[in-house]
């Protein structure tokens, strides 16, 4: 058995050895519980799919509370370097204190490794419980810009020297009046980061044969950030994918509302309105490309439509490397209780296998997870939505998924 690193070719394709070393971060709060469960499932599915010819060699790297305990650093350069060197990694959630303390380590990982696309698929898996009448109509992927917007972390506290200076600069130089006791945050949205994110979303729609890409923004209010995101999104669609895309306007003006074969419709929606449309007419949305904050909000809201955060996977993808992680956070009140649903991280593992080209293992995971839910053996979050279901622990859920493969 030869353990080696995954590498990336100049054209962006991966070389995946049969025994790839994959770094993982366990995570804080419920992270260790869901990590242990996800690891069991990933290892068993790889074994079942490839019969020993392929195997993941897991390599723990530290961040968050465990990182601080083990190394004295919340997030070390060593951890970032290891992820970069191994191209593909997976992580549990990391805690970010509210209103004080360290900045988000999750966001720092994305920024430092330039993982500019946060990709969060939202697909109904029969028979997961859903509050929707027709959950089978939900099949969307959110492409959330992952490096800038208000998440850039440029902000100053109310009353600080810095915020006072900014406020007086705004008044004296820019003629803008801001209440003197305001905290100040900066919302940068750039041409480059918008265009590469929207290009990735359109490429995905082309690869998957999806009919639409929707630019989600609040550009009526924030004209030069969110409005510009939409404008630059349309621009990159024309510049890079002119032969494969049409706008919604063109669909009606030129094609009488009949979508031509092989063309993707690029449309835009104002964020608040889109929240109601994905509830009322989810079948009209396939890929949603959006700035960081909108993407954060809508991905949790969409997760609720297909079973909740316990079932919501995700990936942070850049040109150099990718880090897979659940959409949810550390769910601290359940930490160490072996209670929460590991489905989110297990499905993130399936996304990771797809990304590596290990489609058979990914498919086994999804089938076994669905079969386990169908059998009515589920964690607390799904048990409270399914009448007559048997509530089992996080670790038992992982074992039940693994059992489905042995049969």
Ligand X SMILES: O=C(O)CCC(=O)C(=O)O
Ligand Y SMILES: NC(=O)C1=CN([C@@H]2O[C@H](COP(=O)(O)OP(=O)(O)OC[C@H]3O[C@@H](n4cnc5c(N)ncnc54)[C@H](OP(=O)(O)O)[C@@H]3O)[C@@H](O)[C@H]2O)C=CC1
Q: Is 103 annotated as a binding residue?
A: no
Contact region for ligand Y (CB under 6 A) — 10-18, 45-53, 216-224, 339-347?
Answer: 339-347
Task: Choose which of 341, 348, 372, 377 interacts with ligand Y (CB under 6 A).
Answer: 341
Q: Is 334 annotated as a binding residue?
A: yes
- Is residue 268 near Mg ion by the rule CB under 5 A? no
Q: What are the C-alpha distances in Å from 49 to residues 5, 39, 52? A: 21, 15, 9
Backbone angles phi and psi of 188, in degrees to 5: -85, 130
How many beta carbons lie within 10 A of that of residue 2, not counting itself?
7
To the query of whether residue 272 is one of the catalytic residues in this protein, the response is yes
Cα(221)–Cα(263) distance, integer angstroms: 31
372 binds, among ligand X, ligand Y, Mg ion, none (CB under 5 to 8 A by kind): none
Contacts of 38 by beta carbon, 8 Å cutoff, 6+ apart? 90, 342, 345, 346, 348, 349, 398
- Is residue 107 near ligand X by the rule CB under 6 A? yes
**Closest distance to ligand Y from the beta carbon of 330 (Å):** 4
Q: Burial letters for 145-172: b for 16+ Cβ neighbours within 10 Å, e otherwise?
A: bbbbbbbbeeebeeeeeebbebbeeeee
Q: What are the C-alpha distances in Å from 255 to residues 19, 259, 266, 267, 339? A: 51, 7, 14, 15, 53
Output the CA torsion sign for 69, 71, 75, 81.
negative
Contact 217/224 with Cβ under 8 angstroms?
no
Q: Is 372 annotated as a binding residue?
A: no
Cα(222)–Cα(147) distance, integer angstroms: 18
**Closest distance to Mg ion from the beta carbon of 184 (Å):** 23
- Is residue 104 near ligand X by the rule CB under 6 A? yes
Q: How many residues bind ligand Y (CB under 6 A)?
A: 19
Q: Is 220 annotated as a binding residue?
A: no
Instruction: State the binding string over 51-90 for ligand X (x if CB under 6 A, else -).
Output: ----------------------------------------
- Is residue 301 near ligand X by the rule CB under 6 A? no
- Is residue 65 near ligand Y by the rule CB under 6 A? no
Closer residue to ligand X (CB): 96 or 385: 96
Q: Which is nearest to 79 in space by CA: 352, 327, 323, 328? A: 323
- Is residue 385 near ligand X by the rule CB under 6 A? no
Instruction: State the binding string over 283-322 for Mg ion (x if CB under 5 A, else -).
Output: -------------x--------------------------
How many beta carbons lie within 10 A of that of residue 275, not counting itself?
16
Task: Choose which of 79, 106, 245, 372 interacts with ligand Y (CB under 6 A).
Answer: 106
Give SS3 for 77: helix
Closer residue to ligand Y (CB): 94 or 265: 94
- Is residue 318 near ligand Y by the rule CB under 6 A? no
Q: Is 316 annotated as a binding residue?
A: no
Q: Is 367 annotated as a binding residue?
A: no
> Which of 218, 267, 339, 404 is flagged as catalytic?
218
46 binds, among Mg ion, ligand Y, ligand X, none (CB under 5 to 8 A by kind): none
In what helix (H) or strand (E) does residue 232 lie, and over which residues does it extend? helix 228-241
**Closest distance to ligand X from the beta carbon of 74 (Å):** 12
Q: How many helices (H) and strands (E) does the chain have?
A: 14, 17
- Is residue 251 near ligand Y by the rule CB under 6 A? no
Q: Among all residues, which ones are annotated catalytic?
A: 151, 218, 272, 296
Positions touching ligand Y (CB under 6 A) are 34, 93-96, 106, 308-310, 325, 328-332, 340-341, 344, 381
In the complex, the residues that contact ligand X under the rule CB under 6 A are 96, 104, 106-107, 296, 327, 329
Query: Which residues contact Mg ion (rule: CB under 5 A)?
Result: 296
């Amino acid at each position: 058995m030869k353990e080696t690193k995954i590498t990336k070719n100049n054209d962006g394709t991966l070389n995946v050895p049969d025994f790839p070393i994959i770094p993982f971060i366990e995570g804080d709060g419920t992270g260790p519980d869901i990590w242990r469960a996800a690891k069991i499932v990933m290892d068993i599915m790889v074994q079942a799919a490839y019969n020993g010819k392929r195997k993941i060699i897991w390599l723990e790297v530290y961040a968050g509370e465990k990182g601080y305990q083990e190394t004295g650093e919340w997030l070390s350069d060593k951890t970032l370097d290891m992820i970069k060197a191994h191209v593909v990694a997976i992580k549990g959630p990391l805690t970010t204190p509210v209103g004080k303390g360290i900045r988000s380590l999750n966001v720092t990982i994305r920024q430092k490794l330039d993982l500019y696309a946060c990709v969060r698929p939202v697909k109904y898996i029969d028979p997961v419980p859903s509050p929707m009448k027709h959950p089978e109509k939900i099949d969307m992927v959110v492409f959330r810009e992952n490096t800038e917007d208000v998440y850039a972390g440029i902000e100053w506290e109310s009353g600080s020297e810095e915020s006072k200076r900014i406020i007086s600069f705004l008044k004296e130089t820019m003629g803008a009046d801001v209440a003197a006791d305001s905290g100040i945050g900066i919302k940068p949205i750039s041409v480059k980061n918008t265009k590469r994110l929207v290009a990735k979303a359109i490429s995905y729609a082309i690869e998957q044969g999806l009919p639409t890409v929707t630019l989600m923004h609040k550009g009526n209010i924030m004209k030069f950030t969110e409005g510009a995101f939409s404008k630059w999104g349309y621009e990159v669609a024309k510049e890079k994918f002119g032969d494969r895309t049409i706008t919604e306007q063109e669909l009606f003006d030129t094609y009488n509302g009949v979508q031509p074969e092989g063309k993707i419709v690029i449309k835009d929606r104002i964020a608040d309105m889109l929240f109601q449309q994905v509830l009322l007419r989810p079948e009209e949305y396939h890929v949603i490309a959006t700035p960081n904050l909108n993407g954060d909000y809508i991905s949790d809201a969409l997760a609720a439509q297909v079973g909740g955060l316990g079932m919501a996977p995700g990936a942070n993808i850049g040109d150099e490397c990718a880090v897979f992680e659940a959409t949810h956070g550390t769910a601290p009140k359940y930490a160490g209780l072996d209670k929460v649903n590991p489905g989110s991280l297990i499905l993130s593992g399936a996304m990771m296998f797809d990304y590596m080209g290990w489609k058979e293992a990914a498919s086994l995971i999804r089938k076994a997870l669905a079969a386990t839910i169908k059998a009515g053996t589920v964690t607390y979050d799904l048990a409270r939505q399914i009448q007559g279901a048997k509530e089992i622990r996080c670790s038992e859920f992982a074992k039940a998924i693994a059992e489905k493969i042995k049969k």
